[in-house]
Structure 1
Amino acid sequence: MLKVNEINVNYGNIRALKGVSLDVNEGEIVTLIGANGAGKSTLLKTLSGLLKPKEGTIEYLGKSIAGKPAQTIVKAGISHVPEGRRVFANMTVEENLELGAYLRNDSAGIRQDFAKVYELFPRLEERKKQLSGTLSGGEQQMLAMGRALMARPKLLLLDEPSMGLAPLLVQTIFRIIEEINRDGTTILLVEQNAHMALSIANRAYVVETGKIVISGTAEELQASEEVKMAYLGGH
C-alpha cells in the first residue's frame, strides 16, 4: 500500500531523515519505535504532505505522493493524527469531527461515520456539545483519532497516541487501534511505548538518528536483545 524509498528530509541545515526506506502492506499495523528526536514524527509529517522530501520516492497505492499538498494526500485516503492531539479547542467535539469530513460531501456516509466514531468512542458522544479544550488528555486523543477517521482513511498515521495518558487509558486506546485495524484501516504507528506497540503490530522498524537500523516482524523485534536493551527496559 505504501512504499517509501530512500527519502532524505532536512530541517534547515539538519538532515532529519537519511535514506529511509520502508513499506506498509494493506491491512497491517506497522510500528516505528525509537528515541525522541530519532525522526519518527518527521517521517509521518513527510508522508502526510506537511514536509517535502529532498530526495527519494513515496508511493501510495502505486502513485507518487512525495511533496504533494496535504489535502491531496487526505483525499487519496491517508489521515494523520499528529503528536500532541491538536484538537480545535474553541470548537465542540461535534464540530471537530465535522471538520474531519470537510473533503467529503456524501452526507449519508458522513452520518454513518459519526455513528461509527461514537460507537468506538462512547465518551465523545456524551460530550459532543462540549468545547474540545475542556476535555481530558485521553478524551482529546480519542477526538483526534475520531476526527481522522471521519475522512474515511485507508491508511491512518498515528503519532504517539499514548503520550501523557494514564496506563488504563493507554490500554483503551490500543484496544481501539486494533479495532480500527480489524475494521479494515491500515495503520502506521509511531509510539514511545515499545511494549504496547510491538504487542499489536505485525511488523516494526527501529529508527535511530534519522535512519532505520532494525526491521522485522513484531515478534522478531520483541525477541531481539538489542531492542530489549534499548527500548524494552532490558527484559
Structure 2
Amino acid sequence: MLKVDKIDVYYGNIQALKEVSLEVSEGEIVTLIGANGAGKSTLLKTLSGLLKPKNGEIQYMGGNIAGKPAQTIVKSGISHVPEGRRVFANMTVEENLELGAYLRKDKKEIRNDLDKVYEIFPRLLERRKQLSGTLSGGEQQMLAMGRAIMARPKLLLLDEPSMGLAPLMVKTIFTTIEEINRTGTTILLVEQNANMALSIANQAYVIETGRVVVSGTAKELQASEQIKQAYLGGI
C-alpha cells in the first residue's frame, strides 16, 4: 500500500530524515519506535503532505505522492492524527467529528459513520454537545481518532496516541487501534510506548537520528536483546 524510498527531509539546513525507506502492506499495523527527536513525527508529516522531501519517493497505492499538497493526500485516503491531539477546542465534539468528513458529500453515509464512531467511542456520544476543549486528554485522543475515521481513510497515521494518558486509558486506546484495524483500516503508528506498540503491530521499524536502523516483524524486535535494552526497559 505504501512504499517510502530513500527520502531526505530538512528543516532549513538541518537534515531530519536521512534516506528513510519503509513499507506498509494493506491491512497491517506497522509501528515506528525511537527516542524523542529521532524523526518519527517528521516522517508522518511528510507522508501527509505537511512537509516536502528533498529527495526520494513516496509510493501510495501505486502513485508517487511525495510533495503533493495535504488536501490531495487526504482525498487519496490518508488521515493523520497528529501528536498532541489538536482538536478544535471551541467547537463541540460532534462539530469536530463532522469536520473530519469535510471533503465528503455522501450525507447518509456520513451519518452512518458518525454512529460507528460513537459505537467505537461511547464516551464521545455522551459528550457530543460538549466543547472539545473541556474534555480530558484521553477523551480528546478519542475525538482526534474519531475525526480521522470520519474521512474514511484507507491508511491511518497515528502520532503518539498514548502520550500523557493514564495507564488505563492507554489500554483503551490500544484496544481501539486494533478494533479500527480489524474494520479494514491500515495503520502506521508512531509510539514511544514501544512495548504496547510492538504487542499489536505486524511489522516494526526503529528510527535513530533520522535513519532507520532496525526493521523486522514486531515479534522479532520484541525478542531482540538490543531492542529490549534500548527501548523496552531491559525486560
**CA deviation map 1:58-114 (0-9, x unaligned):** 010001100001010000000000000000000000000010000000011101100
Cα separation, 2, equivalents of 1:152 and 1:188? 15
TM-score, normalisation: structure 1? 1.00
Cα separation, 2, equivalents of 1:110 and 1:73? 20
State the superposition RMSD in angstroms: 0.3
TM-score, normalisation: structure 2? 1.00
1:145 is matched with which residue? Answer: 145
* Unaligned 5+ runs, structure 2: none
1:89 is matched with which residue? Answer: 89
Q: List aligned pairs for 1:48-197, cutoff 5 A.
A: 48-197=48-197
Deviation at 1:10, TM superposition (A): 0.1
**SS of aligned partner of 1:142:** helix
Q: How many residues align?
A: 235
2:200 is matched with which residue? Answer: 200
**CA deviation map 1:3-41 (0-9, x unaligned):** 000000001111000000000000000000000000000
1:35 is matched with which residue? Answer: 35
Letter in 1 for 2:103: L
* Unaligned 5+ runs, structure 1: none
Q: List aligned pairs for 1:211-226, cutoff 5 A.
A: 211-226=211-226
Cα separation, 1, equivalents of 2:210 and 2:113? 36
Letter in 2 for 1:11: Y
**SS of aligned partner of 1:59:** strand
**CA deviation map 1:123-159 (0-9, x unaligned):** 0000000000000000000000000000000000000
Cα separation, 2, equivalents of 1:98 and 1:4? 31
Cα separation, 2, equivalents of 1:2 and 1:111? 29
Cα separation, 1, equivalents of 2:99 and 2:64? 26
2:23 is matched with which residue? Answer: 23
**SS of aligned partner of 1:152:** coil
